[in-house]
Amino acid sequence: MAPPSWATEEQLTFLHGYISIFADHTAKETQSKFWPRLNEDWFSRWPELDVLIKDGRLPPQARGVDPDGPEDADAINPRYQLTPEECELYGAAIEKRKQRLQNWIHNNTRKMAGTSKISNTRVNTSALGLLNPRKRQRVHQEQEVYHSLYKDKLEKLVKEAMAEQLPEIPHGTNGSDEDKSDNDSGGDDSTKDKRTEPRSIQKLRALRMKIRREVRAEAWANETEEVRCQVKKAIMREREEIGEINGEEGKVGLERSPASREL
């Protein structure tokens, strides 16, 4: 079998070694643990950064290892500042590579199952997992991931905004007409409070949510490119972890992603 245009013979041999491992994970429904292992092993051998530098899409000075940071075969030189375009290019290249690896594993696992090169029990369980995937999971949006990564920073901004805006909420938010109606009916104060408190709490919660959304949106709109790049990388990792659930199986033609249509 000739390797795909994006893979060498060595890389193809490497990938074949992971088919049975993926089948085992599929049988146990633990695919989310498989993809990080595959990606880590792949990028430790063939860093995407080297591919981009070799193709001339990133400059050689982008390669570097932070002496104070963890060992990373795909590390960006901490002294080199990626431009927004380079950051987008680097992130997209990694995501595309991960998608190709995922598609290759899925496709070739099915082929191996069809030719009975994997044990019958493993084949049957793997096929069941591929043909009857679990409920689709949603990848979080940029601002949701942004809040998760920078929660302390955003909570401080939210607290300041609430301190400015919440005192402006008038007491008796149910309206003067309802208050007057309660007084005219002769109800005591405790009965009135029980009727008005839920509506007041609802309005307060709605305002708090509104403030949170506005603060988060404004902070995200004014964020640095470095932070935006970190958020995008986090989203790509999340897509990788749930990719086997929301994969390309069952999609044909233009319904498939551009990356998978190239395979």
Residue 149 falls inside a structural domain: yes
| 33 and 117 both lie in a single domain | yes
Give buried/exposed letters for 46-73 (b at 16+ CB in 10 A, else e).
Answer: bbbbebbbeeeebeeebbeeeeeeeeee
User: Tokens at residue 80, please?
Assistant: 């080199």
pLDDT computed for residue 105 by the predictor: 93
Residue 4 falls inside a structural domain: no
Residue 138 falls inside a structural domain: no
Residue 192 falls inside a structural domain: yes
Please give the residue range of the domain that contains residue 205: 145-221
Radius of gyration for the chain, computed over Cα atoms and rounded to the nearest angstrom: 27
The larger pLDDT score, comparing residue 219 to residue 5, is at 219
Q: What is the pLDDT of residues 69-109, one digit of tens each?
A: 444 445 677 777 778 888 889 889 999 999 999 999 999 88
Residue 74 falls inside a structural domain: yes
pLDDT computed for residue 41 by the predictor: 92
Q: Looking up tokens 């104070």, which residue turns up?
A: 68
pTM as predicted: 0.47
pLDDT computed for residue 128 by the predictor: 42
* Range of 34-43, 122-131, 222-231 with top mean pLDDT: 34-43
| 186 and 166 both lie in a single domain | yes
Q: Into how many domains does the chain fold?
A: 2
Residue 83 falls inside a structural domain: yes
Residues ≥6 apart with Cβ < 8 Å to 120: none
Assess whether pLDDT exceeds 80 at residue 122.
no
Residue 127 falls inside a structural domain: yes
